[in-house]
Chains A and B, each alone.
Chain A
Amino acid sequence: MKRPLQYAALAVYVVFLAFPLVWLLSTSLKTPREMASTDPSWIPHDPTLANFADAFAEQDLVGAGLRSLGVAVASAVLTVVLALPAAYAMARHRGLMSRMATGWVLVSQVFPFILIIIPLFMVLRNLELTNTLAGLVVVHITFTLPFALWMLQGYVRAVPRELEEAASVDGAGRVRAIVSVVAPLLAPGVVATLLFSFISSWNEFLFALVVLKSPDVMTLPLMLARFTGPEGVARLGPLAAASLMATIPSLIFFAIIQRRLKSGLMAGAVKG
């Protein structure tokens, strides 16, 4: 009696969640002629991969993808390098500094970005960093740092302090103890934080919109947003194909870190 109802409800959810995705996929496989027809159908009559080739042929899109990749890798690596020592300190020595860092993580969620973007834009302009990828990397690091710090300190806390102390007792120096005992245990957490930072930067739109002005430095999300002009339906196919491809990196990385992110978010949510 109860089960069929539950299955019906679950089916409704699956349809709601899946239909835009299916439609995106379907559009990406359609020929321009079919796109122009007034009676859109779920299954392409004449499926083609031409849209993917077209998207690749657009010089701007490939270039933008490469720039996005560069920015995301640089932001992710630098974020973790900067956050790791601080995360260690937050987890091991709980003092005023750690509490302030935790406070900032929470505060950073509440402020309207516009309050930070305008002055940040002015700072970057003084440093001659507007319209450069380096400028965007700086911005992405700053905005990923709080959550990266939060994730990392959770992972450090999960490594028992006793292990570190035991290594010290066995004659290893403090640094050796950290390198040979803590680091291997921390590695999965570091990878998860790296991937999280990568996804944040790869997906990010608003800051890129403010910092980057000329097409030859634009990242992928900016290029995609520019892609839809008033040209009508002809370019929707390649657009759908490019959108799908732009999603693949974050989707793969997200699949890897999903569980870890959940526990991190839970810790934050409950304490907040």
Chain B
Amino acid sequence: MTVTATRPPKAAHARSRPRSRQGRETLVLMLPALVPVLLFSVGPLVYGMALAFTDARAGRKVTYSFVGLENFANLFQDPDFWSSIVVGLIWAVSVTVLTFLLGLGLALLLNEKLRLRGLARVLAVVPWAMPPVVIGLMWRLVYHADAGILNGILGTDIDWLADFTFVLPAIIVMGVWAGMPQTTVVLLAGLQNIPAELYEAGKIDGAATWQRFRNITLPQLKPVIVAITSLDFVWNFNQFSLVYVLTNGGPGGRTRLPMLFAYEQAFRYGFFGYAASLGVAIMIVVLGLLGVYLWRQMREASS
């Protein structure tokens, strides 16, 4: 009687001991990575969100105070803010959609046994490895009014990056070029994970190529598509370097993406508090759109 009564707690005790030792070990192992992450990103992130409610300025000795929602009130009345959000949305949606469609096309081709596939595969990965600054400079050479090749090919005489009509399409083309590799590689990996039996079954049932694509490829690829388009959208909406180098937001703010606007406010004019509120606004826009997109995808998946 007494033996059976005392055993269970003892066993539980013995089992919990290594677990707590394991916990301590985990903590010690995590610490070297945890300290810089807490100190230099989680901490600043929280602080940054707090700054959005202050009138902080760039100067070292400047004191600042809590101003409530004043920054946001100013933001909503600032036409430059709205135009940067509009430009940002046009850019991010166009680049994401075009990158996805072109990337899917290329992935489908690379999945076939075609000659030249090796070359295309190498080329499709190169932009991924290039420094964004070099990509921006390279496209500047392409679009250059006098020395650029685009005017040479088309026989036109357009200053692409100074033209109000053409500048946004011009940077979108560069964005697609720069974004295609990652998207293509991820989609290709997704395609290669689709079991071949599904296609064989489809063939036996007499499904045509298009039907097989619609009823097998797309549904099977869905999780990968949702993941990569979401990531692409967030990355594109937060894009800075490519466009900074190519146009610096010009002409006349036509390509001033939200991050370029925020950078200018913070580091050219020194309005830290205002720029932080802009960061919060950008985050809300991104999370909101992402939330709606993912929610719709999930609802579709469950119905």
Contact = CB atoms under 8 A, between A and B. Distances in A.
Given A35-B147, A120-B40, A111 B231 contact: no
A6 B189 CA distance: 20
B65 interface: no
Given A9-B109, A93-B26, A119-B47, A20 B286 contact: no
B137 A40 contact: no
B195 interface: no
Contact of B142 (A23, A36, A101, A108): A23
Contacts of B10: none
Provide the main secondary structure of the chain B interface.
helix
A98 to B, nearest CB: 8
Interface string B34-53: 10110111111101110100
A219 to B, nearest CB: 10
A96 B43 CA distance: 20
Contacts of A95: 22-23, 26
A239 B67 CA distance: 47
Contacts of A97: 26-27, 30
B280 A125 contact: no
A269 B138 contact: no
Given A20-B139, A89-B25, A109-B234, A116 B48 contact: yes
Given A13-B120, A228-B140, A270-B223, A116 B238 contact: no
Given A109-B234, A269-B231, A85 B33 contact: yes
Contacts of B160: none
B72 interface: no
A242 B224 CA distance: 37
Interface residues of B, number: 101
A20 B138 contact: yes
Interface stretch (B75-83, B197-205, B271-279): B271-279
Nearest to A174: B25
Contacts of B267: 210
Contacts of A177: none
A236 interface: yes
Interface of A: 2-3, 6-7, 9-11, 13-14, 16-21, 23-24, 27, 35-36, 38-42, 81-83, 85-86, 88-90, 93, 95, 97-98, 101, 104, 108-120, 122-123, 125, 138-139, 141-143, 145-146, 149, 199, 202-203, 205-206, 209-210, 220-221, 224-225, 227-228, 233, 236, 239-240, 243, 246-247, 250-251, 253-255, 258, 262-263, 265-266, 269-270, 272
24 contacts: A9-B109, A13-B105, A13-B124, A17-B177, A21-B123, A41-B152, A81-B32, A85-B32, A86-B33, A97-B27, A108-B41, A111-B45, A111-B283, A112-B259, A113-B240, A138-B36, A142-B40, A145-B37, A203-B131, A205-B244, A221-B133, A233-B147, A240-B137, A254-B125
